[in-house]
């Protein structure tokens, strides 16, 4: 049986300084207002077990600050999809946006099975959005060359074929000079995109 409501009722002789809910069961969802010993509504709301607690006013700000200290100590990082500085949620804390335009990687030594690499803490300047390939980075390959148009010796025998030496001899040892060929170049050298698909988030770091 529910007790008589104590809302705005002076019951100081019996309940001075005691917080209580009004004379009704706590709601199945949400929170119920809590009153002081004089029947005045306090800054607290409580719910049934597992339904949470809500704190309003200065006590709420202190509570939020305490939560920030426990979950997000100075130096902590948090991600969000909206551009709202966490300092507006956690009173008394200061946050800055970091890692703009950069991908996040775990600090320390890693190995992808083919190469070991160490990721330093903070900004790393080794990565590039775009990268032009160097000659050393090209895959091993070959190019075809045109056949020599005139490679006969004085006696009609063929000179040895090839382009690595510019001096060749015919079948009887007579020497002839042939041209060294270079294949035509191709490609523009335009840097290629070096970025994986991304999902952008705001990254905030607590500084104080």
Question: Contact at 8 Å (CB) between 122 and 134?
Answer: no
Distance between CA atoms of 111 and 108, rounded to whole angstroms?
10
Extents of the domains making up the chain: 12-55
Tokens of 76: 């902590």
Question: Contact at 8 Å (CB) between 203 and 97?
Answer: yes
Q: Tell which residue, 123, 125, 141, has the closest CA to residue 133.
A: 141
Tokens of 52: 């949470």
- Number of neighbours of residue 41 by Cβ within 10 angstroms: 14
Question: Contact at 8 Å (CB) between 194 and 131?
Answer: yes
Predicted confidence at residue 55, as pLDDT, reads 76
Q: What is the pLDDT along the chain (208 residues), one digit of tens a residue?
A: 455 665 655 544 454 555 566 666 777 888 888 877 677 888 888 888 888 888 777 667 777 778 888 899 999 999 999 999 999 888 889 999 999 999 999 999 999 999 999 999 988 888 899 999 988 988 898 877 765 544 444 444 554 444 444 455 555 555 555 566 777 788 888 998 989 899 999 999 999 9
Predicted confidence at residue 30, as pLDDT, reads 83
Predicted confidence at residue 79, as pLDDT, reads 95
Separation in Å, CA 89 to CA 57, 80, 85, 121: 13, 13, 8, 27
Q: Tell which residue, 62, 91, 90, has the closest CA to residue 78.
A: 90
Predicted confidence at residue 68, as pLDDT, reads 84
Predicted confidence at residue 26, as pLDDT, reads 78
């Amino acid at each position: 049986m529910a007790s008589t409501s104590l809302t705005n009722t002076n019951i100081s002789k019996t309940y001075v300084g005691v917080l209580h809910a009004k004379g009704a069961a706590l709601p199945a969802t949400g929170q119920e207002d809590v009153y002081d010993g004089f029947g005045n509504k306090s800054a607290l709301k409580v719910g049934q077990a597992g339904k949470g607690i809500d704190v309003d006013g200065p006590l709420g700000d202190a509570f939020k600050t305490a939560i920030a200290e426990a979950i997000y100590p100075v130096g902590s990082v948090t991600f969000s999809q909206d551009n709202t500085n966490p300092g507006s949620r956690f009173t008394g804390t200061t946050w800055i946006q970091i890692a703009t335009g950069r991908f996040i990687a775990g600090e320390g030594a890693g190995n992808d099975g083919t190469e070991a690499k160490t990721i330093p803490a903070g900004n790393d300047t080794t990565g590039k959005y775009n990268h032009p390939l160097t000659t050393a980075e090209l895959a091993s390959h070959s190019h075809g060359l045109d056949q020599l148009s005139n490679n006969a010796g004085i006696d009609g025998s063929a000179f040895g074929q090839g382009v690595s030496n510019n001096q060749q001899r015919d079948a009887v040892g007579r020497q002839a000079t042939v041209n060294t060929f270079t294949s035509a170049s191709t490609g523009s050298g335009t840097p290629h995109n070096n970025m994986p698909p991304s999902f952008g988030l705001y990254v905030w770091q607590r500084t104080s």
